[in-house]
Structure 1
Amino acid sequence: MTAEPVAADTRPRRRGLRAAVACLLLGVAVLAPLGEAAAQPATPRPTAAPARPAAAPVPATAPSPAFEATRLAWDALPLDRRIAVQDALVWSGDYTGSLDGTFGKMTFEAIAAFLGRRKLGPETVGGEVATKALAEVAAQKKAAAGFQMIADAATGTFIGIPTRLVGAATRTETGSRWAAKDGRVEILAHRLPGVDLAALYDSLKADRPGRKVSYAVLRPDWFVIADDEPGRRGYTRMVRGDGEVRGFAFFVDPALGPEVDRVVIATAGTFLPFPPPPGPIVPPSTTAAPVATAPAASATPATPAAPATPAAAPPAAAPLASGLVVAAGKVVTAASAVADCKTLTVAGRPAKPLTIDAGRGLALLAVDGLAAPKPWRPAAAAPAGGPLVALSAGDATGRLVVTSGYAAPLGARLALQRGGHGAVVADLSGGIVGLVTRRPDETRLVAGLIPEATYPLAGDLAGLTEAAGLAVDRTPPPPAGSSGAVVADLAPRVVAVACGR
């Protein structure tokens, strides 16, 4: 995720964003940054191959004694302390996940790595010795980067800035900019009144020559895009609220290595697009970082950080998947998503399996009281390397998550998040290509997100539903449209599937 203040490199990108915003405000078609998006990807992509049936689920193994000892010590800590530990582990180079205080494999491995180097046992998590050691490392790394939480007056956001790596803030048409003299680090903060979030996402995620989007995730109120260009890696996060979109883009030279990568993770984890009044208020994970106020053009000296307010710990999440409503009271999901479930709920309603077809990798569920849209339409053919859109449930309430990707050998290349098991994958004509048959790996996060991966698809939905006597729309597909049109058409069909084990 890299950036430059060099005019030849950064100005076209900023002009592209301004052009996209101007088009959005005028209500006309949005151009991708640095020109219109090509109909096909700039870089040749592999030809799609038929999806293979999902593998049988792997039986869960009992957690190790070290894992349990660490978890018990972790659970005894208040939420703000847990988040502070995760924040310090980011700076120690051991953790790349979300700063949310939850305990899982990534947090355990990060703690084990740090404590192992210090010859400390897992039960010392939160103790005086481990806490002091973590605090010293985090303070040293933050001081080396000059990491400060900045209240940016130009955008109204609260953002972590490595002040020793970049110069003072300068004003842009959409907010503020911090850049290194050698052009290897650049941070842009944006405030975009009246902009449509989904249209901005479609614009900024488009491939162009020399640029590859490594993952892109759209949710109802925010999106994240990560991309790579020669000598430049980017991470963009935009959030909707109060009638406008606010966010930031962080660009770095990959050659700068992990010391700068951890700064990007820290900025992403502590960013507040709409800080609560009266500001500034520091997130719990940044209590060790100084706070500064940035007027439109420059940063002022730091002021002490506000104390963190403890919050209630989130409840443990049940296994979550997604399903497709194919008829009244009938939902199809991945067979592997409902294997060994003692209880099932779909869209918050009790459900039961009617058919589990291991050969197809699909399961047909019965759900009382679930209304049916019109018959669904399968894709005419798997698009060879073409663009795809995946729709999934982000939580048990069915909050929609949209992910863009492309067809690849053995399935689809997507940056799915939690709930992506059973995600509905469609082409840009709105035809359904298949359902994802593998659960995204929630233990491997980068800046709080699961990276892009290739997911196998179960494609014979039509065979399963027609065998059950349910209607399928076999009309010829319309011309390819936008991902927004696909989402508008398919969103009512995507539901959350929760498995109780």
Structure 2
Amino acid sequence: MDFSNPRAFMTFYFVLAALTALYPQSVQAQSPSPNPRTAASDTALDDARVAFEALSETDRRLIQDALIWTGDYNGVADGTFGRQTYAAIAAYQIRSRQQPNGILIPQARSGLLAAAQQARAAAGFMLVDDPKTGIRIGIPTKILSKQATNPSGGSRWQSADDRITLDTRLAPPDATLQSLYDRNLSIQAPGRAVSYKVLRQDFFVIAGETSIGKFYTRYSGGTGGLRGFSIGYDKTLAPQFDRFVVAIANSFTLFPEQLAPAAVAVAPVPKLQPQTEPQAPNLIGTGIVIGRRQVITTAPIASCRDVRVPGLKPRQINGRSPFVLEFANDLNAQPLKAAHGVLVEASPLLVIGFAEEGGKTNLSAMPAKALNAGIISAPLQPGMSGALVIDMHGTLVGLAGILPSMPQRIAGIVPTANYPVVPVSDLFGTAPVLADQWNEAVAQSRRAADIVGSMRPSLVPIICGP
């Protein structure tokens, strides 16, 4: 493990903590031996390495990130392959009743990514640019549902029962990594014991336990100063929450504006910080009219201070992705009327939503294909978060999840990529289950133009004002 990487230290801490709990007398004296049930032969490991490294770096990192969310991997999602990645893939394969050879075929990769996306969606995990400190960090917003400012001037996210707290931290102007490190080591609390600590030139990590909880603190330094975060949580929650700590630590980015965009497998970054210059209203998603004064959307409106549909501002916003916008006046639009269905693997689909091209907002329909539960492949444009996902007989199977605000372009064209879908059952309650066999004759029974035309009166653009 590369201990020059602060995320690797975090991973080592969790491995060490687990070993300490199991073998408190021996863990200090000797290195742990590989588990014979998960250790790979050199040949099997080499075969798995070749298959893994044949993938793009983006796909390799997405697989590792997904394995974090399935609870099989507690390392760094950096795209490099080793025994830890092999063991994680094999563990996932065993649970999925696949051959545990460390090689994920395309269908298995799609299933893994879908399972991870479902776990992220269940936790409401999204990357946030913290306005108090400037760091970028992942927040499981459905678990840490309370947000406030902490006494140190950073941001605070807490669970509803206050058993989990995440604080972002801005160091005083005269602080150094050494002084912050010493200060955190000297904290006194009942039963507090530091299990892991490291100080390097540009970061430090301190982690351990108290009589009732676990904690993890990290600071990093750069030309813009010192920033960090800390997590504390009830020890009884560790079996469920440890994986979130790994995901959060993997997401931490110091001064993200100084970095080139990186491929991540989570929702795009909400821009929470106040704008320093006047900004024109911009399209952030598509809304579906579900009542005379109601709109539902998965657009990233939590990051927008001034949400609008053309000409109207909601008087109330309910939920947390998907959101329901309540208006004081009628929308002069038709509530959506469509049968509810489910994604059928390999079936052709249409994604209908608003896109912004050349400064204009237009309704667009993009062809798509269902890959697996919760995942579609399509060339989606900015603004199509919340777009309708429709099968070819006009049945609603879900809404497009949050999309990157600036998708990658190749020669000016947005290429086909994989995107999450929020299923109908998460929008309107349990959806009726349709036949799981795709009928090609039925699929051709309605033209795409007819489907788009029937849905158009029920769609509105979601605008974020300056």
Task: Give the TM-score normalised by the residue count of structure 1.
Answer: 0.46
Compare relative contact order (CA 8 Å, sep 6+) and give the higher one, 1 or 2. 1
Task: Give the TM-score normalised by the residue count of structure 2.
Answer: 0.49
